[in-house]
Amino acid sequence: GFLLNSTVLTIVGSLIGFSGAILTKIMCDAMNRDIFNVLFGGLNNAPVAKGKDDGPKEHTETSVAAVAELIANAREVLVVPGYGMAMARAQTAMGEMANLCRSHKINLKFGVHPVAGRMPGQMNVLLAEAGVPHEWVLEMDEVNPDMENNDVVLVVGANDVVNSAAYEVEGCAIWGMPLIEVWRSKKVIFCKRSMGGGYADLDNPVFYKENTDMLLGDAKKTSEALAAAVRQRLEAV
């Protein structure tokens, strides 16, 4: 704008710059990171993690039919969406299942982490596009206090925002980051493509907890199959 002597370009550029700065500050707060550390140090300079468990780990896999049965018998269900849901475009199936559960007196709601996806608010926009009412979408601070009351927590394409290593593995890349504490619920189901780590490339201890099952596969196909199975199970009652 200055080079071209254009007032419009200067104003637009300033607005974009300020918006980026505000977004950066919001994400730093959500990750419990100092903005100067992110800008000039970054996560790559984190100290060596302490208390890391390198022993053999076993996870438990489940099926669409088994998860559908859990949801059909539940009274409180929480869905935690992440970037994997956005990439697979599985929000429509999740919205369909939410409406179905609500119509059968199953209190299904969504818990959204401030930095879920690639920017704050991405999950909210996707769920709104899928027809999910705003009142059904809750923030991290709203779902954590009542986590023990959830019969089933379905994690769809999220990893780092529910990775208990942030609390358990001192010095790891996400150490100290506030999380949606899904492991405190009665049952956790991870719907994801593989056992791989998230954006931080860290193993997730929640995968191996006793109350966790893994529903592996493409998020869209799995979500659509799950919505159909839940519908069949509820309408058969």
Q: Clarify whether 83 is annotated catalytic.
A: yes
3-state secondary structure the chain: CCCCCCHHHHHHHHHHHHHHHHHHHHHHHHCCCCHHHHHHCCHHHCCCCECCCCCCCCCCECCHHHHHHHHHCCCEEEEEECHHHHHHCCHHHHHHHHHHHHHCCCEEEEEECCCCCCCCCHHHHHHHHCCCCHHHEEEHHHHHHHHHHCCEEEEECCCHHHCCHHHHCECCCCCCCCCCCHHHCCCEEEEECCCCCCCCCCCCHHHHCCCEEEEECCHHHHHHHHHHHHHHHHHCC
Q: Clarify whether 199 is annotated catalytic.
A: yes
**Annotated catalytic residue, options 167, 199, 208, 233:** 199
The residues carrying an active-site annotation are: 83, 118, 199
